[in-house]
Amino acid sequence: MENTKNQLIKLLKDNHVVKYGKFTLSSGKESNYYVDMKRAITDPIILTKVAEIISEKLDTNDVDKIAGPALGAIPIVTAVSILSSIPMLMIRKEKKGYGTSELIEGDLQEGDKVIVLEDVTTTGGSLIKAVKAVSENGGLVKKAFVIVDRDEGAIDNLKKEGIELEPLVSVNDFF
């Protein structure tokens, strides 16, 4: 698995996913680097590698659905769903005001065991919102995966919510 992690780090580096400069993060914090995961999740080779790594870590007998928040996690969720044959859920940032007005798209049943995926985490705020959306709609979330964790509190913040967050790589792997 360590070799696979190193392959992923090399792919991310080769695709210049980490950018240096002055950036404002979604958490509002300033940073001297930015993890541009949209570059990664739109690349079929990286997306395939990520899906392979996550699929290998899943106990398919203990997972009913794979979910992720729009927009960044949806390609990851889709790729893992296809590779693992586990149905997926898409979590909107907010309910739409038309059609079914659902916050979660897909077939979430009461008691479904759900794994939540994310592209990058800083404090874990958007991931916690996604987990709460699943929980409030009857799903059971115990674990989440993220491609890159910025090591700025997400793991601890999710642990406080009773969720184990497993990063595929840490931002420190780039430095």
Is there a binding annotation on residue 43? no
Fold of 2-174: Rossmann fold (3.40.50)
Residues 6+ away with beta carbon under 8 Å from 164: 142, 143, 144, 158
CB 168 within 8 A of CB 147: yes
Residues 6+ away with beta carbon under 8 Å from 56: 1, 4
Please report the beta strands in 109-160, taking only residues with DSSP state E, as ranges in sequence order: 113-121, 140-149
What does pLDDT average to over the chain? Answer: 91
Q: Are strands 88-91 and 104-105 parallel, antiparallel or unpaired?
A: antiparallel
pLDDT tens string 153-162: 999 999 999 9
- Decide if pLDDT at 100 tops 50: no
Is there a binding annotation on residue 39? no
Mean pLDDT across 47-61: 93
Query: Dihedral of the CA atoms 88, 114, 169, 58 (nearest 10)?
Result: -90
Is there a binding annotation on residue 93? yes
pLDDT tens string 1-53: 568 899 999 999 999 998 999 998 877 888 899 999 988 999 999 999 999 99
Is there a binding annotation on residue 4? no
User: pTM of the entire structure?
Assistant: 0.91
Is there a binding annotation on residue 160? no
- Decide if pLDDT at 86 tops 90: yes
Is the Cα dihedral 143, 41, 51, 113 positive or negative? positive
Is there a binding annotation on residue 112? no
Is there a binding annotation on residue 169? no
Is there a binding annotation on residue 118? yes
Is there a binding annotation on residue 60? no
Is there a binding annotation on residue 124? yes
